[in-house]
């Protein structure tokens, strides 16, 4: 279970941030910034977990090379590349920032929903990890016929993760069409 980083960020407010909370008109800004910081920290954790899964997947690819499983090597290499792209997308994703006179303003409620949305992605990463573990077992068990299915399963859960991640800002802000 992940720690709620919103509480941690609130507890670690320094004196200057506490003063900002007392200034009329600045309180909302401070709260939104703290939520963005918490979400940014959460996304860094998500990206780190994806990186770890990517390392497992790279080991699988290397095992496939050692076993001369040439028919599936290209698919495995593509998966390694895709998980690295996904990790970078998550690490550098939109923080829900909106300027003073933005066309679309993201308030505290939407930022809290964005955080909750990103928190749910932890379980999606567990699904990716489980499929990679299944691939690893198939490789180590010498189940050649199972390899394409396992690679496809990893690809499917990774695509699902990316589609869910793509929709986060649209759905949170109610701007999806």
Nearest Cα residue to 46 out of 86, 15, 90, 4: 90
pLDDT for the residue 72: 96
Q: State percent of the chain over pLDDT 70.
A: 88
With a CB cutoff of 8 Å and minimum separation 6, the contacts of 132 are 53, 56, 57, 60, 154
CA–CA dist 72, 70 (Å, integer): 6
pLDDT for the residue 98: 56
Question: Does residue 25 have a pLDDT over 90?
Answer: no
Q: Model pTM?
A: 0.81
pLDDT for the residue 169: 66
User: What angle is formed at CA 79 by the lines to CA 75 and CA 82, rounded to 5 degrees?
Assistant: 135
Nearest Cα residue to 108 out of 43, 171, 167, 31: 31
Q: How many CB atoms within 10 Å of residue 91?
A: 15
Residue-wise pLDDT for 50-104, tens only, equals 999 999 999 999 999 999 999 999 999 999 999 999 999 999 887 665 555 555 6
pLDDT for the residue 18: 75
């Amino acid at each position: 279970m992940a720690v709620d980083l919103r509480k941690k960020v609130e507890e670690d407010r320094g004196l200057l941030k506490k003063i900002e909370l007392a200034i009329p008109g600045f309180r909302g800004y401070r709260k939104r910034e703290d939520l963005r910081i918490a979400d940014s920290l959460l996304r860094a954790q998500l990206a780190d977990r994806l990186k770890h899964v990517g390392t497992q997947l790279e080991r699988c690819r290397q095992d496939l090379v050692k076993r001369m499983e040439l028919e599936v090597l290209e698919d495995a290499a593509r998966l390694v590349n895709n998980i690295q792209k996904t990790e970078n997308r998550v690490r550098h994703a939109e923080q829900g920032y909106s300027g003073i006179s933005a066309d679309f303003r993201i308030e505290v409620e939407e930022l809290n929903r964005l955080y909750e949305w990103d928190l749910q992605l932890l379980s999606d990463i567990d699904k990716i990890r489980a499929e990679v573990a299944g691939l690893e077992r198939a490789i180590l068990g010498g189940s050649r016929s199972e390899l394409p299915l396992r690679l496809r399963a990893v690809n499917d859960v990774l695509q699902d993760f990316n589609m869910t991640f793509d929709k986060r800002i649209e759905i949170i802000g109610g701007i999806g069409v």
